Amino acid sequence: MAENIEIKQAPEREAPRKESPEKEAEVKAKAPRIHTIEKKRSKIKIFDVVNYIVFGLLTLIIIFPIWKVICDSFNAVGVYQFKLWPTQPTIGGYATILKTAKLFRPLLNSFITTICGTLLGLVMATLGGYVLNQYEMPGRTFLSYFLLVTMIFSGGMIPEYLVMKKLGLVNNMWILVFKHGMNVYNLVLMKNFFEGIPASLYEAAKLDGCSPMQIFYKIVLPLSKAALASIGLMFAVTVWNDYSTVQIYITNRSQVNFQYMLRVMVMDGDTPTTSYKVSQSTLYYSGIVCAILPFMLAYPFLQKYFVTGVNVGAVKE
């Protein structure tokens, strides 16, 4: 018996709606623009990848030596190959520095001279820059050129030694404070930074009855945090790392700074005796870490001020 086969007719497809000519023209106009944007995005991504790779490699090149020094400073046995971790961990190197007067006294001298030298340098640079920024001051141009000449010419080592001797700074750690207390380059940076402060602020303060020193303390200094941080960091690094001045002017070991003592340890092998079982190289590396650690900790917090302060003070528009 033949089965009745029912054939169903497929539903007819709807005809595509035709867009208006204005709509089609708009779509065609957007097409190449989208393609261009995608092409630009692909270029930016490639640049970012290359940028990350290059700076990642540079970061590793910088971090590896520092990490080796840190690891070796905690290693009781001197190791000359690269180790990712100390084989015999110990803090004997740092304990020797803190408990041995021959090393702890120079470290304390470094902190004292760095703090005092930085404060004195900031006082001289800010006051000098503020005074030279007073356009109505008589002799301003002469003083500016006189200070700039000192950046090019100096009296020489022997006249400088005689002056320091007359001042009683030979064999005295305070020579590090007073020698670096005046830096013309930093003074010029502060002067240029003060020139960037709007003149309307000075005029408004004068109308309110502020004296020049009140304007300096109440307006100029609060607006100069970036410059103070960046230039203060320059002063601190200069005083902290100065061992050549100690080498020339100081022979008393109780007055030397830590940088000079570290140089004597590494170059001359003059290491103090210690009750801790650590190698000579461990003591070297512990001293190096103590020398670089303060600014490694301080610089990340001052970096934004450092970049802003130097750029604003060094560029005059």
Q: What is the pLDDT of residues 188-229, one digit of tens each?
A: 888 888 888 888 888 888 888 888 888 888 888 888 888 888
Give the pLDDT mean for 154-158: 83
* CATH class name, domain 94-314: mainly alpha
pLDDT for residue 2:
45
Average pLDDT, integer, range 130-142: 85
Integer Rg of the chain from CA: 33
- Least Cα distance to 180 among 200, 160, 202 occurs for 160
* Averaged pLDDT, 228-245: 90
Q: Would the pLDDT of 52 be above 50?
A: yes
Per-residue pLDDT at 57 exceeds 90: yes
Lowest mean pLDDT among 26-30, 49-53, 85-89, 258-262: 26-30
- Per-residue model confidence (pLDDT) at position 205: 87
Does the pLDDT value for residue 35 go beyond 70? no
Q: For 74-183, where are the alpha helices, taking DSSP H only?
A: 92-99, 101-132, 140-152, 157-166, 175-179
Distance of CA 115 to the CA centre of its chain: 16
Query: Is the pLDDT at 18 greater than 70, yes or no?
Result: no
Cα–Cα dist 36/84, whole Å:
48
CA distances (Å), 264 to each of 37, 105, 229, 236, in order?
62, 15, 32, 22
**Do 229 and 122 form a contact (C-beta atoms < 8 A)?**
no
**Res 5: pLDDT:** 47
| Confidence band for 65, pLDDT divided at 50, 70 and 90 | confident
Region of poorest pLDDT, from 71-80, 172-181, 194-203, 249-258: 71-80
Above 80 in pLDDT, residue 273? no
Provide the mean pLDDT of the chain.
80
Residue 30: per-residue pLDDT: 55
Backbone angles phi, psi at 75, to 5 degrees: -100, 125
Share of the chain above pLDDT 70, in %: 80
Cβ pair 171, 252 in contact under 8 A: yes
**Eight-state DSSP code of residue 10:** P
> Is the backbone of residue 14 left (phi > 0), alpha (psi -120 to 50) or beta?
beta
Long-range contacts (CB closer than 8 Å, 24 or more residues apart) made by 270-276? 272/96, 272/100, 272/102, 272/103, 274/92, 274/96, 274/100, 276/90, 276/92, 276/93, 276/95, 276/96
Query: Residue 121, Cα to own-chain centre: how many angstroms?
Result: 17
What was the pLDDT predicted at 21? 59
What pLDDT does 122 receive? Answer: 93
Q: Comparing 117 with 317, which gets the higher pLDDT?
A: 117
The confidence band for 20, taking pLDDT boundaries of 50, 70 and 90, is: low
User: Per-residue confidence at 76, pLDDT binned at 50, 70, 90?
Assistant: confident
Please report the pLDDT score of residue 22 as a whole number.
61
Phi, psi of 89 (to 5 degrees): -60, 140
Highest average pLDDT, of 7-16, 39-48, 129-138, comes from: 129-138
pLDDT of 107 above 80: yes
Q: pTM of the prediction?
A: 0.75
Sign of the torsion angle spanned by Cα atoms 116, 132, 163, 154: positive
